[in-house]
């Protein structure tokens, strides 16, 4: 009687196929979670920016506009007596203000995320739209601030509470 030693070729191929499938699922899930983390960072930064701008507006009765280029390497925006310190590494932000300073739109995006977030002061709503990973937020990505609904075509995320 001959004893069986080792595995057959078919058994090895089946085990390798199962491990390969599980690896693909794990890598996809990991990349999905990473992208969500980058998007969450941009959303967190937007909420901090909203708080700072609304506080500034309560005192000065106007919003402060700034461009992507106005953010320092350390994530600080300083325009006159307005200072915002909460822009995370990799996140770009824009603030567009109406000509008299009574309306404003704020936008953020993490360069490794796939969503651009926006906030409109007249509606108090947070919006988002799809973008691509690696895309850097540009000043033109944030709509100009008017008294109308500026985020046409964007999806509503939530109300800022």
Q: What is the pLDDT of residues 39-48, one digit of tens each?
A: 999 999 999 9
Residue 119's pLDDT band (cuts 50, 70, 90): very high
In a domain, 68, yes or no: yes
Q: What is the pLDDT of residue 34?
A: 93
| Rounded CA separation 137/148 (Å) | 23
pLDDT at 5 over 90: no
Looking at the structure of the chain, the number of domains it has is 1
Q: What is the pLDDT of residue 3?
A: 63
In a domain, 2, yes or no: no
| Rounded CA separation 87/110 (Å) | 10
Residue 6's pLDDT band (cuts 50, 70, 90): confident
Q: What is the pLDDT of residue 86?
A: 78
| Rounded CA separation 147/130 (Å) | 24
| Rounded CA separation 126/119 (Å) | 5
pLDDT at 117 over 70: yes
pLDDT at 161 over 80: no
| Secondary structure (3-state) at 19 | helix
Q: What is the pLDDT of residue 15?
A: 93
% of the chain surpassing 90 pLDDT:
69
Instruction: Show the domain range for 95.
Output: 9-159
Strand 115-120 and strand 104-110: pairing?
antiparallel
In a domain, 140, yes or no: yes
| Rounded CA separation 110/137 (Å) | 8
Q: What is the pLDDT of residue 2?
A: 62
In a domain, 1, yes or no: no
- Averaged pLDDT for residues 68-74: 88
């Amino acid at each position: 009687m001959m004893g069986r030693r080792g595995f057959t070729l078919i058994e090895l191929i089946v085990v390798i196929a199962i491990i390969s499938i599980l690896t693909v699922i794990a890598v996809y899930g990991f990349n999905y979670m990473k992208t969500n983390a980058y998007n969450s960072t941009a959303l967190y930064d937007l909420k901090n920016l909203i708080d700072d701008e609304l506080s500034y507006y309560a005192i000065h009765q106007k919003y402060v506009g700034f461009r992507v280029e106005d953010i320092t390497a350390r994530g600080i925006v300083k325009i006159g007596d307005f200072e915002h310190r909460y822009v995370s590494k990799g996140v770009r932000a824009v603030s567009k203000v109406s000509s008299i300073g009574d309306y404003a739109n704020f936008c953020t995006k993490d360069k490794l995320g796939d969503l651009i977030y926006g906030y409109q002061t007249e509606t108090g709503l947070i919006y988002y739209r799809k973008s691509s990973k690696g895309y850097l937020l540009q000043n033109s990505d944030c709509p100009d601030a008017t008294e109308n609904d500026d985020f046409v075509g964007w999806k509503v995320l939530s109300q800022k509470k």
